[in-house]
Amino acid sequence: MDDVIARALALASESFIAATGPGGQNVNKVATAVQLRLDIFALRLEPQVFQRFKELAGSRMTSRGELVLMARRFRTQEANRADARERLAELIRDAHNLPEKRAKSRLNRIGKAQRLESKKKRGTVKAGRGKVQFD
């Protein structure tokens, strides 16, 4: 997984753009925000990892398979660049961590009977609610 992260950081292209937010007049003069772009197909991920990556990336991934990360949380280029790279690495790590299969729970006969009985009780409570009719 570390080799995939290293390859991703090597393939990623960064451009600096004007940021919004804190920074005073400096924000108008200096391009501190980082836009990190990465072609996901160049990483050659396994199919299930690629699918999970697409789900995690969401709207940050273009239709051409390019990931676009914006980092503008900090006031300096260096901090924003490090933030973007760390977020990319975290995204790749999360894509490699496949969720564990959920084991089906099994109820015994008594447990099923108790569940159905509690549902019936709850149903009668709810059925008793509503408008009162005076006949």
Q: At what angle do helices 77-96 and 2-11 cross, to 10 degrees?
A: 140
The continuous run of DSSP H or E covering 35 comes out as: strand 33-39
As a whole number of angstroms, the distance between CA 51 and CA 64 comes to: 14
As a whole number of angstroms, the distance between CA 9 and CA 25 comes to: 32
The structure's pTM equals 0.67
| Amino acid 108: pLDDT | 92
Q: Where are the domains of the chain?
A: 2-96
Q: Kindly state the tokens that stand for 125.
A: 């409570």
| Amino acid 16: pLDDT | 85
Q: How far from each other are the two terminal CA atoms of the chain, in whole angstroms?
A: 74
pLDDT in 10s for each residue of the chain, 135 residues = 777 888 777 778 787 887 776 666 666 777 888 888 888 888 888 888 888 988 888 888 888 888 898 888 888 889 998 999 999 899 988 988 888 888 888 889 999 999 999 999 999 999 988 877 787
- For 97-118, the DSSP string reads SPPPPPPPP---HHHHHHHHHH
- Written out in words, the top-level CATH class of the domain with range 2-96 is alpha beta
